[in-house]
Amino acid sequence: MKPCPSKMQRQMLVIALLAISATAARAEDVIKPYFEFKKPKMVTIAGDLSFDTNGASAVVVNASGPYKLGFEGISQYDGAAFGRNFIPPDTMGAVGKTQYVSTSNGAYAIFDKKTGSRSALMSDVNFWIAAGQTGTNGDTRIMYNASADRWVAVAFGANSKDLQVAVSNTSDAMGGWKSTSFEGYGGYGFGATADYPTLALDRNAVYIGTNNFAPASSGGTNSFRGTTMNVIPLDSLFGAGAPSTTNMQQFVTPFSSSSSGNVDRGFALQGVNSNSAGTSGKVFAASLFSYDNISYSINGLSPTSASGAALGSASYLGMADFVSPGAARQPATAVPANQRVIDAGDERISSSVYEVGGRIYMVNTVNSGADHLDEARVRYTIVDATTNAIIDQGDIGTAGHDYYQGSIAVNSAGQVVIGYNRSGLDPSDGKITFMARTFNTDGSGKLVSTSAEILLKESAVDDYHNGSVFGQAASGRQRWGDYSQVSVDPEDDSQFYLIGEFAREYNNAAGGHPGGTGGSRWGTWIAVLDVSPVPEPSSWAMLILGMGLVIVVARRRGSAETQPV
């Protein structure tokens, strides 16, 4: 691993990048240099035991304020027990009628959403075999569709050029699933990958975006070849019988390394989750070439067919200045400075995008220019669903910390919850933590904070790294993420369910695992926030006074009824 640059060096680099960004043409053909293949990596540490003899973290109940329930989801130990020991986890989950379903690279689990008790754990491979496929290579996304009372999941196929979609038979995630598969990126039988599949639903279709990679015909490193937005009509997946992609439409935007002709439709394409009526869907993504987000429409859709659909032109949002975030720091005071960092990812829109009330909500991880020259921030952006004009934008962060892997959801009342990771160099509060903020959307569409930072889960160690063991130098790229998720309870939309990553104890004797040689281990954490309005103190006083008057009147009536006439 290369030495970590000094703060001044990083500041100078950011200033230079901002200057370049300000003068670069929107459609220049030089792709952002960090953009890369993100397939998860199997971890192999010789002699390192993987079984969890220490047990999951204790359930948290009524911690404080809106934080009502917290429980551990899947950990790296769970996947490793199935021989599926991957980094990063690709943390993902969703809430349904009675259950919370958590997925990761390696294992899937089902929990009682009210208590956090785990009712099922299986390998990701076995889940897909039971659903009718031959296996998986990870990158799962999952959502619950309240209108259909079904779950829907997407992941790599056994060959990572293929994608597969599973739909539950009922609202019960343990009641059986059916599936279908399709070629996500074809034409390269020697190693193509439909990478980083995303997932979104509206009233017409299911949207699955991919970043496409393939090596040169002579072999070598995978290189970026463009993107695909796969649009599957709802009836094809949720209709009678097995799910099908017969009526699917694939919109491919190729990328060439030559000097001209490339179209910017972004990367990590996120369809917009929406209940709005109409015949169009929307897609948002981070630009390939400039520091901005883009959007475009998919027109001519219906629940039964996407065959006549067509792409609208892409437009840039005009976001406030930012550049790609740098590595995130953690204390790790006992190790050299260049061992204290983890890869916080890039500015792709990694989590779901939502439309509510004519407004669209999303988050990116950014380095927001002159304001935070050496720190990552989670940026929220709210845009008008019709015009794409930015209504509100803000960065979540405090000096001395890095903020990353954000996710967002919004309910029908415009209440918003944003989950994210935070870390920093300060030993007192720098461990990687999973945190959240809550907001209301005011009449003008701007977010108004309704909580301070809420600590959901703190990591057990201050020096997480993967691919090596305790006391040794960090080996390879120190990936974190690649995403998190917030979902709204379909039975009570004042309840938000968040899932994010934290660092568990080392797999050694000191961590409660005798015989382990000390490999790092990740865990995932599921938290429930209740954003129901709480009466103001004056309201409580009036309520108590009113109850007192009722009691007095009742006592007087009771006394009068026992008096002689």
Q: What is the pLDDT of residue 512?
A: 85
Q: What is the pLDDT of residue 84?
A: 92
Residue pLDDT, tens place only, 280-300: 999 999 999 999 999 999 999
pLDDT above 70: residue 489: yes
d(CA 93, CA 100): 7
Q: What is the pLDDT of residue 257?
A: 73
Bigger pLDDT: 469 or 436?
Answer: 436
Architecture of domain 7-534: 7 Propeller (2.130)
pLDDT, average across residues 165-185: 96
pLDDT, average across residues 173-201: 90
Would you state the structure tokens that stand for residue 361, as one six-digit string? 């909500």
φ/ψ region of 261 (left if φ > 0, alpha if ψ in -120 to 50, else beta) reads left
pLDDT, average across residues 258-272: 87
> Which phi and psi (to 5°) does residue 428 adopt?
-80, -30
When mean pLDDT is compared across 395-399, 458-462, 513-517, 556-560, the lowest value belongs to 556-560
Bigger pLDDT: 261 or 149?
Answer: 149
Among 445, 403, 397, 439, CA closest to 420: 403
When mean pLDDT is compared across 115-129, 331-345, 550-564, the lowest value belongs to 550-564
pLDDT above 80: residue 171: yes
pLDDT above 70: residue 357: yes
Give me the percent of the chain exceeding a pLDDT of 70. 84
Q: What is the pLDDT of residue 554?
A: 42
pLDDT above 90: residue 440: yes
pLDDT, average across residues 41-46: 74
Among 431, 434, 432, 400, CA closest to 419: 434
DSSP notation for 120-134: EEEEHHHHHHHHTSS
Where in the chain are the domains? 7-534, 537-565
Give me the percent of the chain exceeding a pLDDT of 90. 64
Determine what percent of the chain falls in helix, strand and coil, rounding each to the nearest 5.
Answer: 10, 40, 50
pLDDT above 50: residue 408: yes
Residue with tokens 């892409």: 314
d(CA 140, CA 89): 10
Q: What is the pLDDT of residue 1?
A: 35
Residue 369 DSSP one-character state:
G
For residue 223, the cross-strand partners are 214
Q: What is the pLDDT of residue 307?
A: 86
Q: What angle do CA 438, 444, 445 make, to 5 degrees?
A: 40
Residue pLDDT, tens place only, 514-560: 888 888 899 999 999 999 975 544 444 444 444 454 344 344 334 43
